[in-house]
Structure 1
Amino acid sequence: MLTLGKIDHIHVRVADLKVALDWYERVLGMNIDTRYRHMQEGHGITMLSNPSASVRLALSEEAGEGGALPGTVAFSVGGQEFLAWIDALAGQRVRDKDGETIARDSVRDHAFFLSINFVDPFGNPFEIVSYDHTWLAAKLKLNGRGAH
């Protein structure tokens, strides 16, 4: 039986990124995680983490086009498990936010990690991510396909 790894991050919608950054730093001690700088430039998502990087929030200023929906809980798994999850989700006919059934071509390439986004029967968003990027990109023959 497949199991999930840890919670990797949670997406949070904010109305004012500057105000949010100040609040999350002052109140929760979270700062911008520079390893995810490309997410801000490419997706409008600013990744924050606590000092030990054991807690991460992905902030999107209101719209957050193209990425996971705000409120998305993202789970982290290894490369082999990632492939197994894609196949299990497809086998259960799980759908993404657009109503498309999950398949291997649903994978999104974020440069140093891959993700698959889906919703439960009530529309609650989830994401499974893997940082085994090089191995998975070769295994899935991405060659830039699915890059967002």
Structure 2
Amino acid sequence: MPKLEKIDHIHIYAPDRLRAEEWYKDVLGFTRVESLERWFLEGGPLTIENGGVHIALFESDTLVNTTVAFSVSAKNYEEWKVQLNSHDIDFTESDHALSWSIYFRDPYGNPYEITSYEYEEISKCSAYK
């Protein structure tokens, strides 16, 4: 059976792609992929990236709830909580016994998860209890 190599991109729907682009830039550090901007200019998706993660922003008034989960280290886990708090983003945190996760939504209702499998390291820190 052929193997999948990686996630190429994730489709996210928002009523205004340019406003969504600003939110993703300010809160999650995504930037526009200039080499794919032609699609956006022709009415297609606006593609943004952070590291190896690509999001294709599509314009739609209909919410599509697909949870996107990002993997992070224990150190980055705490930094993401600080980042979300600095933007007044409501989030919940869950201990899954094998991982810790932060759950939040973008302004359009799209659900996100930031998860770390460095469970023991996070569990032993009093900041996580």
TM-score, with length taken from structure 1: 0.41
Higher CA-based Rg: 2
